[in-house]
Amino acid sequence: MTIIKRGLTALAAGALSAALAMPAVAEPVKFDFWFGLSGDLARVVDTLCKNFNASQTDYEVVCTSQGNYDATLQNTIAAFRAGKQPAVVQVYDVGTATMMLSGAYKPADKLMEENGYKIDYADYFPGIARYYATSKGEMLSFPFNSSTALMYWNKDAFAKIGKTEAPKTWEDVGADLQAMKDAGYECPMAINISANESWQLMEQFSALHNQPIATKNNGYDGLDARLEVNKTKFVQYVTDLKKWYDAGLIKIKSKDLGQDMVQAFASGTCQVIMTSVGDHGTVGKTQKEGMNWDVAELPVYAGTERKNSLVGGASLWVLSGKSDAEYKGAAAFLNFIHDPKTALFWSTNTGYIPVTKSGFDYMKSTGFYDKAPFKGRETAIASLTASEPTEITRGIRLGNFTQIRAEFGTQMQAIFANKVSVQEGLDTLVKNGDAILDRFQQTYPGKTLP
């Protein structure tokens, strides 16, 4: 053996000895997170997951979009039956009752306590927390992407009719729309009457006016709750919307018709819309050059004592049947999301609002709301906290609510197409919606909501 070979052999032996002497590096514990967002929002979730993985070395969350909310819930049910469920799953607001009755979850508050995290649940905005909590206030899931509905108004168009503020009552809305029509605007206001718009037209309106969607405090007090929107102030609201539509003050805008409401407003085609605060960023990015606009809380009828609006979006559920190590990872992930700095990242990149007071305060301290493009989004917090939630405005706890929303869309289209009267359409909505609730109740005989 040459001197060189003997030297290389010695170096290799030394390196091997050093490697054996070093402690083995533990692989991070992996756990799955399934979510229902897509497109740009899915990319933001991916970045959020990468940020969590980079923040520590013990856990690695594997984040997978399921395409949309419905697919996420259905895929999760199928995976659970096959014993391949993710540790964490995003479930939209209207799936809350289904999750609560499934028994397929580990309560979030117990998960955090068992893993040493002290969460101040009073830090969550009440209008958000109570939507996802039990009737006793127990947090079964963690609020995640949250929003509420706002009125978007074109300040230039209102200036043309001598107004400098958004209308606060529906009576003023009617007068302002007529004035804009008289001033030459072809589309003073745009609405959409499809299934998903139930959230803005029926659910938000009813909450702001403290009007029930269903008996039993919107279903919180029993699976035998039944709809009653055909005999509340909602009847007057739909009657007014139809009257303004017939008078040409309101236009129907949707993707199916070639232009949705947000596009119609941002382009200056329509002067007022009602949509999620989550669309605030889209309007800012796509607006007609030079257009002056702002957002305001949704109007109420004169004489109404305004209540808090409802939260929309989804929460994070931790599913049962996972290992202790995966639960530790899931708890660390939820704690990371709860951090106010994560709230700033999330709101900056998505348009969703912070779900905690500490997150909101932190964002204000950074000057987030002081200037464009984020100025105005704090109006959503004002709307959600307009009052302490009542037994009606804390949320909606009705089974198969997605199907009820579909029925809402069907009947609203029948009303606006003059196939039925307002009262006939709402009566049919209640009749068919109650049949949906009947079937849900029969699916869970003898069970009660927590």
**Measuring CA to CA, how many Å separate 32 from each of 49, 59, 90, 180, 435?**
11, 11, 11, 52, 37
**Measuring CA to CA, how many Å separate 136 from each of 52, 121, 132, 139?**
32, 13, 11, 9
190 bridge partner residues = 251
User: E strands along 243-342, which residues?
Assistant: 250-252, 272-276, 293-296, 312-319
Residue type, 247: A
Read off φ and ψ for residue 144, nearest 5 degrees: -125, -95
Cis (ω within 30 of 0) for the bond into 28?
Answer: no
pLDDT at residue number 2: 47
pTM of the entire structure?
Answer: 0.87
pLDDT at residue number 18: 52
Stretch (H or E) spanning 319 = strand 312-319
Per-residue pLDDT tens digits of the chain, which is 450 residues long: 444 455 445 545 555 555 555 556 679 999 999 999 988 889 999 999 999 999 999 999 999 999 998 899 999 999 999 999 999 999 998 889 889 998 899 999 999 999 999 999 999 998 888 888 887 888 999 999 999 999 999 999 999 999 999 999 999 999 999 999 999 999 999 999 998 899 999 999 999 999 999 999 999 999 999 999 999 999 999 999 999 999 999 999 998 899 999 999 999 999 999 999 988 988 988 999 999 999 999 999 999 999 999 999 999 999 999 999 999 999 999 999 999 999 999 999 888 999 999 999 999 999 999 988 899 999 999 999 999 999 999 999 999 998 999 999 999 999 999 999 999 999 999 999 999 999 999 999 888 888
Q: How far apart are CA 349 and CA 13, in angstroms?
A: 52
Read off φ and ψ for residue 151, nearest 5 degrees: -95, 125
Q: Helix, strand or coil for residue 169? A: strand
Segment 78-92, tens digit of pLDDT: 999 999 999 999 999
Q: How far apart are CA 141 and CA 162, in angstroms?
A: 48
Number of other CB atoms surrounding residue 84 within 10 Å: 10
What is the C-alpha end-to-end distance of the chain, expressed in Å?
A: 79
For residue 19 the two structure tokens come to 């490697």
